[in-house]
Structure 1
Amino acid sequence: MNEKEKVRQVADSADSAAQEAADSRWFERVARAGFIANGLVHAILGATAVTIGLGQGGGEADQAGAVGQIAAQPFGMVLIVICFLGCALMALWCLVNAFFGSASLRGPGTRDPQHRQGRKQWIDFFTMVGSAIAYVVVAATFSQFVFGGGADSGKSSSQASTTLAKAPGGLYILMAVGAVIAIIGIVFCINGLRRKWKEDLRRPRSAITRFLVGFTGVVGYLGKGATLLSVGILIVVSAATGDPEEFTGIDGALKGMRDQPFGPYLLLAVGLGLVLYGIFLALRSRYDRMD
């Protein structure tokens, strides 16, 4: 066997192992913890937004602020480590399935493209990759507390946007990023109203659970979508006015929402939506098909 054949054999073995991992029931079960971790962050973020809407301060209304509140609780760091591992495994599961599993553009157990790729197959692929990126971001937030003692995400967002704005065409890139985030927010709202997420869930046996999943799904998606839309608008406005340092992430977007006409009421609604989205993610950990 020559060197080229050895390399190919090793590559085939690695490929087979990855495909087996994509179909592993234990891998799937452990990765479901990522839904719960992400849901916990959204629930705390939503509760913080509600307190801000009620005029009670509420601290930092962003992911880092939510994780910081978890860290401040008894055994908080243990929970953060578990959440970090859950989100990291969920991100890994999404990537493995995007390239080797059900969302892959090729047939299972083969290097050949699937016979029926089409638009839906590409949408499934990019959706899975996007989910992996989202869970990497949440895992990175937990990792800051696991390895670095936390961070000021508002300051980090401002620094990142300012650095990008200084690059050639940076303000236009920043506006494009904001527009994409705003569009994702609109898509979240549309998918929530159309209940597109039902395609990914098993039907609960209990009528009460079915109602709870449906209610938290619709309202939760609207809350999540409104948050992303406000973040996207803030990025576009800060870039258009030439003040990218004004962008301070989710915290700045939600607090900016509070300062608008009827802002406190809108912020209360968005906060409750985020809390319900967190509950929906916890339910999703039980009923998501993950196939």
Structure 2
Amino acid sequence: MDRSDKIKRAADSADEAVQEAADSTWFERTARAGFLANGLVHTVLGVTAVAVGFGRSGEADQTGAIQQIAAKPFGMVLIVLCLIGCALMTLWCLVNAFFGSSSLRGAKSRDLQEHEGRRRWIDFFKMFGSAIVYCAIALTFSQFVVGSGSDSGKASSQASVTLAKAPGGLYLLMAIGVVIVIVGISFCINGVVCNWKDDLRMPGQRPARALLLATGVIGYLGKGVTLLAMGILVFVSAATGDPEEFTGIDGALKAMRDQPFGPYLMLAVGIGLVLYGSFLGLRSRYDRME
């Protein structure tokens, strides 16, 4: 056996080991905690959004939500558990994107002109995008674990200003805003047409099925509207040459509050985020994770 055959055999063995670990019951069950952690953040964020909409002070973003969790009894223990859950979910998504059911490896077709090829690429990018989302949430949790939690609004503003100073930075910010708007629209469409049902094992009991459908539809709409507001704020702040105006989700929701009927719009969005958090909690039970 020559050297290339040994390397190939070692690579195949490593590939099989990774896939076996990803398919193991313990890995799947612990990774499901990531859904619960993300759901908890969205639930607290939704409650905060409603309170801020009606005049209370606070940050209506992920950092503000985690700060509230940390302030509760045993809050830091819960944050550590959420960090572990999000980290495992990140790892699970990455393994499936590159080695598992969403991998392009061994696919029948990767040709974007063919249905099978398009489906494979969509599955890959969905899984890889989910890994990025859960990694970002895990990093936010980790800041509180090590005691360096910061104002995410100021961080977003500083990042926007730094990017705007680069050649073509304002145009790049505008493009980022457009991408966020598109993602928000896709969330809203998903909420209406319920494409997310394909990823779930729908419960047989009617009350549970109805609860899953209601939280999914309204939750996706609430999440989508939040992303739409954030994307519009990114685009407008870049288009007007004031990138420091972008302060993340907190700035987007507070800009929404300042519009006519803003508090009631914030109430609707806040309820949507709470229900999206509830949906993620249910998803931890019913997601196929295949």
> In which range does the TM-score fall when normalised by the shorter chain?
over 0.9
Amino acid at match of 1:28: E
Match of 1:23 in 2: 23
Percent of paired sites with the same residue:
71
CA offsets 1:101-157 (integer angstroms, 9 cap, x no match): 111123xxxxx3335732222111111111111101111110110123311101110
Instruction: Map Cα deviations across residues 203-247 of structure 1 (whole Å, 9 max, x no partner).
Output: 212211111100000000000000000000000000001010111
Q: TM-score, normalization: structure 1?
A: 0.95
List per-residue Cα deviations over 1:260-290 (Å, max 9, x = no partner): 1111111110000000000000000000011
Contact 1:201-1:284 at 8 Å conserved across structures: yes
Contact 2:36/2:280 (8 A) holds in 1? yes
2:144 counterpart of 1:114: no
Residue number in structure 2 paired with 1:61: 60
TM alignment of 1:116-131, pairs within 5 A: 117-131=116-130
Distance 1:165 1:236 in 2: 12
Distance 2:272 2:174 in 1: 26
2:283 partner amino acid: R
> 1:109 matched to which residue of 2?
none
Paired residue for 2:163?
Answer: 164
The residue type equivalent to 1:262 in the other structure is: F
Distance in 2 separating the partners of 1:134 and 1:114: 28
Counterpart residue number, 1:72: 71
Q: Give the match's secondary structure for 2:121.
A: helix
Give, as a single letter, the amino acid of the residue that structure 1 aligns with 2:40: L
Q: Distance in 1 between matches of 2:108 and 2:75?
A: 45
- Indicate the residue corresponding to 2:285 in structure 1: 286
Q: Is the CA contact (8 Å cut-off) linking 1:223 and 1:274 kept in structure 2? A: yes
Q: Report the AA paired with residue 113 of structure 1.
A: A
2:31·2:89 contact (CA, 8 Å) conserved in 1? Answer: yes
Indicate if the aligned counterparts of 1:105 and 1:117 stay in contact, CA closer than 8 A: no
Q: How far has the Cα of 1:16 moved from its partner?
A: 1.4
Residue of structure 2 equivalent to 1:175: 174
Question: Which runs of 5 or more residues in structure 2 are unaligned?
Answer: 110-114
Q: Which amino acid aligns with 1:264?
A: P
Q: Distance in 1 between matches of 2:246 and 2:190?
A: 27
C-alpha RMSD over aligned residues: 1.3
1:21/1:96 contact within 8 Å kept = no
The runs of 5 or more residues in structure 1 that have no matched partner are 107-111
Q: How many angstroms apart in 1 are the aligned matches of 2:77 and 2:194?
A: 35
Matched, 1:147 2:146: yes
Aligned to 2:40: 40
- 1:88-237 alignment, distance < 5 Å: 88-106=87-105, 112-114=106-108, 117-237=116-236
CA distance in 2, matches of 1:113, 1:85: 31
Q: Distance in 1 between matches of 2:107 and 2:281?
A: 35
TM-score norm. by structure 2 comes to: 0.95
Q: Distance in 2 between matches of 1:69 and 1:21?
A: 35
Are 2:271 and 1:241 aligned?
Answer: no
| Matched positions, count | 285
Partners of 1:287 and 1:113 in 2: how far apart?
A: 27
Deviations 1:43-78 (A, max 9, x none): 000000011122223x10000110111111111111
TM-fit CA distance, 1:3 = 4.8
